Structure 1
Amino acid sequence: MAIRVARFLRFVSLLRLEPYIVLFTAFYFVKRNALDVLIQDKICVHKYNMPEDFCYHLASIKKNDTNAHIKTDILADAVMYNTYQQLLTQPLSIIWSLFLGTWVDKYPKGRKWIFIIAAVTQAMEAAINACNSYFFSLNVNWVLLALVPYILSGASTFTTMYSYVGATTPSKWKTTRMTILEMCQALAQPLGVFVGGQMINLTPVLGNGQVHNYGLIFFVSSCGMIGAFLWTAFFIDQQQNKQNFEKYFGDNNVENKPEISPKSVEIPGEKSDENSGAIINDETVDLPVADRAKHPIRLLLDYKNIVVIIMSCFKRRHNRATTKIWLVIIANFCLYMIRTGNSTFLFQFVEKIYHWDAKEYSQFQSMSLAINSISVILMTYVFIKILKLHDMWLAIIGFTSVLLQNLVLAIILNPTGYYISMGVNCMNSLGSIGYKSYLSKVTEPSALGKVFTMMSFVDGFAPMIASPLFALMFRKTIDSAPSTCFAIVATLAAIPIVIALGINYLSKVPTGANPTEPAIIEQNVEPVPTLHTNGKLSGDNYNGVRNINSISSLKSNQD
């Protein structure tokens, strides 16, 4: 017991990215609903020339009240501004993503710089919106100016987080650490949403015409992002983090070295992934001599980065690994369609149908996120350690939860539906955990940045499709058929479930990378202690698979 506690404390002490995730996510979400309310209030006051009291109590206006039709128009216009934000931010972000993936694989400090730039640009965005709040008489379109820093940042923060974890964590611990990453986000989100909701209806600080207290919220968000920047600058070091995880939790960890098996010899630098069955190289490929002398900025802007990403994502791999990678990318695209859809219209939906204001919505939203976090924390251990469920079964459970949530919201059009949906949605984070953990295992470490970048590139198109689609559907159906948007989201949630079942099927079908290679069957085998030719110990298993050329080379070296 004491040993387990010590290992747990050791594991926690090595988590350097996770505090950044908590800070970044919490202070990102603290301003999210405030921005929606700021846009609504400016539209209400300046476009429709309604009195401040009407705009302040917009959510409480019933269907048969005077000027109820103006409420619908205001909410529909606010949803359209969510679409404008997506259309402005996504195109350049998509272009940036093509350069960032290869760059972070080439340049060891690349991911750290992405985290730093993200925190700084989010601090700038919040500061600009604080000014928009104070100078309330400015046109609502000035809110879009605040997006400029975010656009220039590359908007790849969350994708880079997953590739950072994949690059620094030993294979057998990736699912656990991906779960911790999701939990950090899942715990920080309700905290940020709740704090923002409690502040929004307070008397505006330095009012100057503000209908709600958004100026203070944006100021707090900006300060929090500065804190995230300082943490990254002083405490995140990818190379050191990777070495520490390998030292204490890798196959050759100093606390639990396996005994030498003289009959077993391991091919240097290679190992088999327990889920994919693919032989992968555990060391990042060295840079070409020409690239070593290049400045990091030149490495970033090299057009060859795009070619490398495309080649890496389409090259043939063992055990249909490339097919599985693309199936995961498609599933994640559906996830972003779902998230974008809900975030586009959900706040305005509850204002119209439930008559909740921003404070009430923030309370229930944070409660829902907290229930999800607690449920996943409690059940992930059961699913992974006790029931031994593979990543795809986690994904199936997660997306089934999303599907049921949206079906409930579509069928029960009153607050009771939202309360029930909080319960059935309690496992939704497992969808992302399962797919991204599987992707980090089926992809060789030297290609993680490239594959996650391709996923980010494809995901970038989801908001550009989903946001206009759901904004249009909301405007057309909110009075006549308010369930329509949720029905579409539920349909999208079914696609990743089918994909996960397909990946499970493919994993059971033997196949080789080409007709001359032996078939590789995915299976779980206990690690067999082996001896490197350089004398180092290892506990990796190969599921009986070897590369013929590597073995020939090894024999030549021994001769």
Structure 2
Amino acid sequence: MTDILHNVVPVTESSSDINKNRRRSISNFIELPLLLVMVSLSIAGCAVSNIMLYRTCVNALHYSKEECEPYLSPVKNNETIHLEASVQGYYTYVSTVKSILESVIPMVLSLFLGAWSDTYGRKPLIIWPIFGFVATGMLIVIYSLVESLGPWWYILTSVPFAMTGGYVILFTGAYCYMSDISSLETISLRMTMIDATISSGTVIGSILSSYLILYLGNVNTLLICVTLIVTAYVITRLCIEESLTGALQGGASKVLDLLLVKDMFRESFKKRPNYGRTLILLIAMIKMLLIIINFGLGSLEYLFTRQKLNWSLQHYTTYSAVTTTISFFGSFFGVMIVQKLLRIGDIQFTIIAVMSTIGEYIVKTCAVAGWYMYLGAVVSVFRGLPGPLTRSFLSKILPVQDIAKIFALLCVFEGSAPVLSPLIYNSLYSATVARMPAAIYLLSIGLAGASVVMLGFVQYYFRKGLRYETLHESL
């Protein structure tokens, strides 16, 4: 999920000079509300999956409550094995519509809000999505209490989430906020802290979810999640100060300014020396493909492990926590040690990282036992690096004044990925769940392979351009 969050405006020297002496305190410690949000969403996602599988089984497919009751438990048994194919197949259609709704509107908002926040501040970009999460959380609790509501009613709970920007706007605001309060010397560390907060919240939520559901039930677990998000909202509203010096108040009526979009596209697609435009477009397409893979597998891997490996929610959340932890430490180890010692360029290391994920997908395609999933996670230890490495590459070859516009373009490409991903992956899984559920990994191998080929062209055009003129610095 974090790749889509990285494309934000990096700190410039002028903005850093204004805020470089600002010390960390509760007034700018955005990691705390961010952690609470991530823990809450991670826990809620597991509870909602159980409820949705049960509602699909009872309300949509009209099986008896006794047959479908095991879906509400985080402990998997064989009682629903004869239902898995039909229930999961139907559920993926609902999930597809929900994913599209939660992706299209934030994608459109991302065209405007990045530049808008340069005038009206970063704090609204953090507050608005958290408020949307609160509203969506309350609607989900209501939905979970009314047992007569079928799975399609669940889509309505996503409306506040989507209208306030969702994950994209929240993390764009968080990264911009962090860049405002950081000096050039501390920006890398503080950006890393945002990534660490995201990963930590996801891991903590994954570990806690199955135990909370088992001992408190799905509804009570969702109430705890809403409480956590409300706490995050209160902290952000009352304690967090605006980071942008001289930010204007209000401005909500000026969010949808088409001139900002026009300027972004003009600068992004203009012809540049040394194959600059080709490099930008290739990287944009590569990042879109990788996000399609991440979103596609992220929404279906739990269903795959239920169907293929007979995993319980508790098994899957433990695996998810281990995978996230391996990826987190692998990224730090890769950038801070491997890349520096071996002097590997950004694009070269990105190729290695993507190829490691191909190895992971090959292992999981052959999975017949749980240890295959863990082996795949170890094989792809560098899976978290393509996002930051490609962003680093662009930062080095682009003029400072163009970086914001190019990153906004990347947001558009990556924002389209969650729209395309469920259409591709959910449709494939629905068609193959009964006979070959691992087909989603074969598709991922193909898309990742295409990304490697395009990365090869990026490296070729970059080196070819260096023969005539050094763009910024040799990687």
TM-score tier by shorter-chain length is 0.7 to 0.9
Shift of 1:119: 0.9
Which amino acid in structure 2 is aligned with residue 519 of structure 1?
A: E
Indicate yes or no: 2:133 matched with 1:122. yes
Gap change, CA 1:340 and 1:78, over 3 Å in 2: same
Return the match for 2:223 from 219, 224, 243. Answer: 219
Give the aligned partner of residue 390 of structure 1: 345
Matches within 5 A, 1:9-408: 13=24, 16-58=29-71, 60=76, 62=78, 68-105=81-118, 107-109=119-121, 111-155=122-166, 156-164=169-177, 176-203=189-216, 213-233=217-237, 234-239=239-244, 296-317=251-272, 319-408=274-363
Deviations 1:310-356 (A, max 9, x none): 11212344544443332222121012101121023211111111111
Give the aligned partner of residue 276 of structure 1: none
* Counterparts of 1:451 and 1:157, CA distance in 2: 19
Deviations 1:140-187 (A, max 9, x none): 222111111012113322344445556665667665554443333222
Indicate yes or no: 2:448 matched with 1:498. no
* Counterparts of 1:186 and 1:496, CA distance in 2: 25
Deviations 1:450-490 (A, max 9, x none): 33332222222222222022122112212222221101012
Which amino acid in structure 1 is aligned with residue 220 of structure 2?
A: L
Gap change, CA 1:524 and 1:47, over 3 Å in 2: closer
Preserved contact between residue 60 and residue 150 of structure 2 (Cα < 8 Å): no
Preserved contact between residue 318 and residue 520 of structure 1 (Cα < 8 Å): no
Deviations 1:47-68 (A, max 9, x none): 3343444324358565xx7x74
Which amino acid in structure 1 is aligned with residue 150 of structure 2?
A: N
Gap change, CA 1:304 and 1:32, over 3 Å in 2: same
Preserved contact between residue 347 and residue 389 of structure 2 (Cα < 8 Å): yes
TM-score (normalizing by structure 2): 0.83
Which amino acid in structure 2 is aligned with residue 118 of structure 1?
A: P
Which amino acid in structure 2 is aligned with residue 507 of structure 1?
A: F
Indicate yes or no: 2:466 matched with 1:473. no
* Counterparts of 1:173 and 1:326, CA distance in 2: 30
* Counterparts of 1:447 and 1:236, CA distance in 2: 28
Larger helix percent: 2
Which amino acid in structure 2 is aligned with residue 100 of structure 1?
A: L
Which amino acid in structure 2 is aligned with residue 411 of structure 1?
A: C
* Counterparts of 2:51 and 2:255, CA distance in 1: 37
**Aligned length, in residue pairs:** 447
* Counterparts of 1:390 and 1:173, CA distance in 2: 22
Give the aligned partner of residue 3 of structure 2: none
Gap change, CA 1:436 and 1:53, over 3 Å in 2: farther
Preserved contact between residue 364 and residue 438 of structure 2 (Cα < 8 Å): yes
Preserved contact between residue 40 and residue 228 of structure 2 (Cα < 8 Å): yes
* Counterparts of 2:208 and 2:290, CA distance in 1: 26
Aligned CA RMSD, in angstroms, stands at 3.2
Deviations 1:171-221 (A, max 9, x none): 676655544433332222111121122212224xxxxxxxxx222222222
Give unpaired runs (5+ residues) of structure 1: 1-9, 204-212, 241-285, 287-291, 513-517, 526-559
Gap change, CA 1:465 and 1:162, over 3 Å in 2: same
Give unpaired runs (5+ residues) of structure 2: 1-20
Give the aligned partner of residue 6 of structure 2: none
Shift of 1:39: 0.7
Which amino acid in structure 2 is aligned with residue 296 of structure 1?
A: G
* Counterparts of 1:29 and 1:414, CA distance in 2: 25
Preserved contact between residue 39 and residue 78 of structure 1 (Cα < 8 Å): yes
Gap change, CA 1:293 and 1:432, over 3 Å in 2: closer
Which structure has the larger Rg over C-alpha atoms? 1
Match of 2:385, SS state, is: helix
Indicate yes or no: 2:437 matched with 1:424. no
Q: With CA pairs under 8 Å and 6+ residues apart, which has the higher RCO, 1 or 2?
A: 2
User: Which shows bigger deviation, 465-474 or 311-320?
Assistant: 311-320
Shift of 1:440: 4.1
Deviations 1:345-382 (A, max 9, x none): 21111111111122221122112212222333344321
User: Which shows bigger deviation, 481-490 or 294-303?
Assistant: 294-303
* Counterparts of 2:145 and 2:252, CA distance in 1: 37
Which amino acid in structure 2 is aligned with residue 75 of structure 1?
A: Q
* Counterparts of 2:397 and 2:471, CA distance in 1: 13
User: Which shows bigger deviation, 43-52 or 299-308?
Assistant: 43-52
* Counterparts of 1:439 and 1:452, CA distance in 2: 9
Preserved contact between residue 60 and residue 151 of structure 2 (Cα < 8 Å): no
* Counterparts of 2:442 and 2:182, CA distance in 1: 39
Gap change, CA 1:354 and 1:332, over 3 Å in 2: same
Percent identity, aligned pairs only?
Answer: 18
* Counterparts of 1:454 and 1:90, CA distance in 2: 16
Shift of 1:121: 0.6
* Counterparts of 1:174 and 1:372, CA distance in 2: 22
Preserved contact between residue 407 and residue 486 of structure 1 (Cα < 8 Å): yes
* Counterparts of 1:423 and 1:299, CA distance in 2: 47
Preserved contact between residue 76 and residue 313 of structure 2 (Cα < 8 Å): no
Gap change, CA 1:521 and 1:332, over 3 Å in 2: closer
Preserved contact between residue 440 and residue 448 of structure 1 (Cα < 8 Å): yes
User: Which shows bigger deviation, 45-54 or 415-424?
Assistant: 45-54
Which amino acid in structure 2 is aligned with residue 223 of structure 1?
A: T
Which amino acid in structure 1 is aligned with residue 382 of structure 2?
A: M
Shift of 1:307: 0.6
Deviations 1:377-419 (A, max 9, x none): 3443213544444332442333223222111100223212112
* Counterparts of 2:440 and 2:377, CA distance in 1: 18
Match of 1:472, SS state, is: helix
Preserved contact between residue 394 and residue 433 of structure 1 (Cα < 8 Å): no
Shift of 1:443: 4.4
Preserved contact between residue 79 and residue 348 of structure 1 (Cα < 8 Å): no
Match of 2:310, SS state, is: coil
